[in-house]
Amino acid sequence: MSLAAILVTAIFTQNFILSKFLGICPFLGVSKKLNTATGMSLAVIFVMVLSTAVTYPINLLLKANDMEYLQTIVFILVIAALVQLVEIVLKKYIPSLYNSLGIYLPLITTNCAVLGVVLLNIDNGYNFIQSMFNSLGAGLGFLLAMVMFAGVRERLESCKVPKFLEGLPITLVAASLVSLSFLGFAGLVEGIFG
Amino acid sequence: MNPILLAVIIVSAIGLIAGIGLAIASIVMAVPVDKKAEEIREILPGANCGACGYSGCDGYASALSKGDETNTTLCLPGGDEASAEIARITGLAAGTVQPMAAVVRCQGIKRNCSTKLKYSGVRSCKMAAQLFGGPKECTYGCIGYGDCVEVCPYNAIHICDGVARINPLLCRACKMCVNSCPKNLIAMMPLHETKAEVLCVNKNKGSQTRKECRTGCIGCMKCVKVCEYDAIKVENFVAYVDYEKCTGCGKCVEGCPVGCVKLITLENNER
């Protein structure tokens, strides 16, 4: 698979939020405003790419010792440390973004999209460059979904919603419709690169 | 080597490296924490209402601790207690906070003020006010879609018969509603004191006001003439009360032909 194909697959056809349903917590939690959604996505992209770069050699080490079963626990450890690092950096240099992200920043630790991309890289048997492109694509796909959904949420704010659907219910309905629209990208990669 | 032992070693080695890395990073990129500001922040109510004029409780706390702000009485929800505590921490003089509560200056209930158009857009005063000044005949009066109800952190505001009403027992004088009202109808009044208040802000001429609302201020100056303390003034065809001068004698209330001046005593046992 070419690098461009991997990138497009990760962004559109296999979008982590809207097709694989990973990372729904920040998707629903931080998508209320466009600027926090963008900030959160940029932090996630950074963590995804960095954790892929770090976990790839670690995975080689585990493989050499026949210890693939340690993948999950070791990767969580590495991701947690990286998130802490991002938190320290943000607190120092971009305090406004740090304040607006609030609790969701430490929650990237348990964001399954990050662990998901790392594990899927290994499952798909990507080499280092391919893994990096896949995580970058996954992060960009996350950004795309967050920004799109933040727009939808802002429109929802000024809509007359029936009382029993107010708040989270209507958000979930909207999320499912946005996710459905991403089905339209099925077959895109085969069409362009195949 | 024993595979279990190796696994333990690998995981703990990675943990150790990550831990040391983070420790170094936290020392290199340490953000100096202002102890005093944090202490003050603990005392403030944390409503982030902005009544003090700062962006929120954090802003006021850091201004106090840096010495940019020397007035300890700016926190209205915190009141005297907060002022005394802040004074204890910062060494500044404590002051008394005049307890206040918000009042909506409009009596345009459905019986008094009819509607001129049927509005079916977004239920928000700000939106409705953009269409011919709102659905009511009076373009100065309360629209009653509850923008103030939405922002009130203490649930003190309710819409009664098309006009917002504020419960002084629940009001903490945070002024959130004052800023949310597109018609600037909400005023702050002192608690525990009887004061006259003009419950109308209609700046139209008397004849026009009369057509719009049964209790609108027509600017007839009767209240100005009867007031012995020079506490009431008419500007732009609507009367204003100066609370500092008003003694609550009630002469203006008797003199008002439309009944828009009222004697108000706000009570709140907690403050």
Can you tell me the ipTM of this complex?
A: 0.71
Reduced to 3 states (helix: H, G, I; strand: E, B; else coil), residue B239 is strand
Domain residue spans of chain B: 35-90, 100-265
Smallest Cα–Cα separation from A142: which of A5, A15, A13, A3?
A: A15
Question: How many Å apart are CA B265 and CA B99, to the nearest integer?
Answer: 13
With contacts defined as CB-CB under 8 Å, which chain B residues touch A89? 25, 29
- Stated as kind and residue range, the H or E segment containing B11 is helix B3-28
Ramachandran angles phi, psi of B246, nearest 5°: -65, 130
Q: Which two tokens stand for residue B36?
A: 């005093």
Smallest Cα–Cα separation from B15: which of A80, A57, A119?
A: A80
Mean predicted lDDT score pLDDT of chain A = 86
What is the pLDDT tens value at each position of chain B, 271 positions in all? 688 888 888 889 989 998 999 899 888 887 777 777 888 888 888 777 777 777 778 888 888 888 777 788 888 777 788 888 888 888 777 777 778 889 999 998 888 888 888 888 888 899 899 888 889 999 999 999 989 998 888 888 999 888 999 998 888 888 888 888 999 999 888 888 888 899 999 998 888 998 889 889 998 888 888 888 888 888 888 988 888 888 888 888 888 888 888 888 888 766 6
Task: Specify the CATH architecture of the domain B100-265.
Answer: 2-Layer Sandwich (3.30)
Q: What is the pLDDT of residue A132?
A: 93
With contacts defined as CB-CB under 8 Å, which chain A residues touch B123? 160
Q: What is the pLDDT of residue A147?
A: 92
With contacts defined as CB-CB under 8 Å, which chain A residues touch B62? none
Q: What is the pLDDT of residue B271?
A: 62
Question: How many Å apart are CA B167 and CA A31, to the nearest integer?
Answer: 35
With contacts defined as CB-CB under 8 Å, which chain A residues touch B22? 81, 84-85, 88
pTM above 0.90, yes or no: no
Q: What is the pLDDT of residue B270?
A: 66
Whether B14 has its CB under 8 Å from any CB of chain A: the answer is yes
- B22 and A58 within 8 Å at the Cβ level: the answer is no
Q: What is the pLDDT of residue B169?
A: 86
- B10 and A84 within 8 Å at the Cβ level: the answer is no
Closest CA–CA distance from residue B4 to any residue of chain A (Å): 10
- B122 and A78 within 8 Å at the Cβ level: the answer is no
- B10 and A77 within 8 Å at the Cβ level: the answer is no
Closest CA–CA distance from residue A158 to any residue of chain B (Å): 6
Whether B20 has its CB under 8 Å from any CB of chain A: the answer is no
With contacts defined as CB-CB under 8 Å, which chain A residues touch B3? 65-67
CA-based nearest residue in chain B for residue A155: B122
- A92 and B3 within 8 Å at the Cβ level: the answer is no
Reduced to 3 states (helix: H, G, I; strand: E, B; else coil), residue B190 is strand
Query: Closest partner residue to A70 among B10, B123, B127, by Cβ?
Result: B10
With contacts defined as CB-CB under 8 Å, which chain B residues touch A80? 18
- B22 and A160 within 8 Å at the Cβ level: the answer is no
Does the fold of domain B100-265 match that of domain B35-90? Answer: no
Q: Which CATH number fits domain B35-90: 1.10.10.10, 3.10.20.600, 1.10.15.40, 3.90.1150.10?
A: 1.10.15.40
Closest CA–CA distance from residue B128 to any residue of chain A (Å): 13
Q: Which two tokens stand for residue B78?
A: 């915190």
Radius of gyration, CA atoms only, chain A:
17
- Stated as kind and residue range, the H or E segment containing A45 is helix A34-64
Candidates A58, A65, A86, partner chain B, best to mutate (most B CBs within 10 A): A65
For residue A151, the number of C-alpha atoms closer than 13 Å in the C-beta half-sphere is 6
- B7 and A67 within 8 Å at the Cβ level: the answer is yes
**For a pLDDT cut of 70, what percent of chain B falls above it?**
99
With contacts defined as CB-CB under 8 Å, which chain A residues touch B7? 67, 70
Q: What is the pLDDT of residue A30?
A: 80
Smallest Cα–Cα separation from A141: which of A41, A5, A24, A61?
A: A41
Q: What is the pLDDT of residue B190?
A: 85
